[in-house]
Amino acid sequence: MRVAVLSETEANEGRVAATPETVKKLKGLGADVAVEEGAGDKSGIPDSEYKAAGATIVADAAKAVAKADVVLSVRRPSVAQLKGINDGAAVISIADPYGNEAELKKIAATGGALFAMELMPRITRAQVMDVLSSQANLAGYRAVIDGSAEYGRAFPMMMTAAGTVPAARVFIMGVGVAGLQAIATARRLGAIVTATDVRPATKEQVESLGAKFIAVEDDEFKQAETSGGYAKEMSKEYQAKQAELVAGHIAKQDVVITTALIPGRPAPKLVTKKMIESMKPGSVIVDLAVERGGNVEGVQPGKVTTVNGVKLVGHLNVAGRLAASASALYARNLYAFLETLIDQEKKSININWDDELVKATALTRGGAVVHPNFGGSNSSKAEAPAADAKPAAEKKPAAAKKPAAKKPAAPKAAPKAARTAATKTAKPAVKSKSKSKGA
């Protein structure tokens, strides 16, 4: 089994898909690991460390992927980079499939099976594979550091002989993983922190970190979360009410950090030009959603600009600005997923296409796009619930009918027992679902 680790080609991408730690683990699974020369340089990992872990260093992508069974990368590799892979090879990356259906078709034509790590389901089993959480956590931290660097004043209140320096006021918009880490980091730096989100479950999380929660808490707000734990797109009416509340609050803030993203959709606009104009000169807004269009009106991707004395920070790939830490976490996410695709006795790739992790993340297979959200059709995904439901419908009534022939009174008790059993088995399912929301 040959595993190829590619060097990233985008200028602002400093992460790498494997570290010496995960290379050692892959070797333990029986893999021959080929790392493209210089792949870890921007993450502070020289080729010599990969060699010491047991990897072979190769000159370019073509030599790395030649006869590869697995290809690991951070960003979705190009078709040219995949030339020479084995038919059916697993290509695992942050694939960015939304709006890139044409590219998915080209990769499908290479014969590779492309997996998108960002589509990993939010279930307990997959927590260790959750790249969105691992990378967003770092992005939230870095956003506060970037904001403080641009702000030019101290964050904590300082009382000196020359007078008092007031604490900075920081407002976090969007309380997912990135937002929660931003709250925690700003609090550690001594700022007065407020936060807002459309999901009611976040209120308690915000307050537990010592910040104040700001939101329009109406009936729509109470139902603003998907089963997967993501924010729903809110109605125009709610957005207008929330914007009015935020407009009055944002004028008093020194640093604003926006993190709101909805998978597969453009980033919602949270901060208007009028709101920016209401802020004090010297204030800072950091937009973590800039790669999806941005939450802030007028923000420019990859640039720090000034509007009315307010700095708009639009850094790209914010997690990648902490390349060493981001690579360490991402490589562990990849390894945890790859481990489920390997037959450890035969030491070879053995993908179970009925596995819920595979169904959720597989984009291409057998020369075609297979994910139903991107123009493909995954028949096993549609059939699985029906197959699971059928035995449940057949077994319980059968158990209830047998006693009915012997005792006339038994049929009444049997359905009651069946209903009791059904209730007992249903309750854990509800609990496990709520756990996945919290994750």
Q: Side chain identity at 308, as an amino acid letter?
A: N
Choose, from 32, 47, 230, 238, the residue flagged as catalytic: 230
Q: Is 130 a catalytic residue?
A: yes
Can you read off the two tokens belonging to residue 330?
């991402």
Q: Is 122 a catalytic residue?
A: yes
Ramachandran assignment for 299, one of left (phi > 0), alpha (psi -120 to 50 degrees), beta (any other): beta
Can you read off the two tokens belonging to residue 67?
């006869």
DSSP state of 235: P
Look-up of token digits 């920070």:
313
Asked if residue 124 lies in contact with residue 435, where contact means CB atoms within 8 angstroms, the answer is: yes
Q: Is 41 a catalytic residue?
A: no
Q: Is 141 a catalytic residue?
A: no
Choose, from 130, 146, 197, 287, the residue flagged as catalytic: 130
Q: Side chain identity at 76, as an amino acid letter?
A: R
Q: How far is CA 140 from CA 133, 149, 320, in A?
A: 10, 15, 12
Q: What is the phi/psi pair of residue 137, to 5°?
A: -60, -45
Choose, from 127, 278, 300, 348, the residue flagged as catalytic: 127
Tell me the residue ranges of DSSP E strands in 279-347: 284-287, 304-307, 310-313, 342-343
Other Cβ atoms less than 10 A from the Cβ of 421: the count is 12
Choose, from 2, 15, 76, 122, the residue flagged as catalytic: 122
Choose, from 133, 148, 253, 283, the residue flagged as catalytic: 133
Please count the helices (runs of H) and the strands (runs of E) in the chain: 13, 19
Asked if residue 83 lies in contact with residue 62, where contact means CB atoms within 8 angstroms, the answer is: yes
Residues 6+ apart with CB under 8 A from 272: 243, 247, 297
Asked if residue 193 lies in contact with residue 211, where contact means CB atoms within 8 angstroms, the answer is: yes
Asked if residue 107 lies in contact with residue 99, where contact means CB atoms within 8 angstroms, the answer is: no
Residues 6+ apart with CB under 8 A from 394: none
What residues are labeled active site?
A: 122, 127, 130, 133, 230
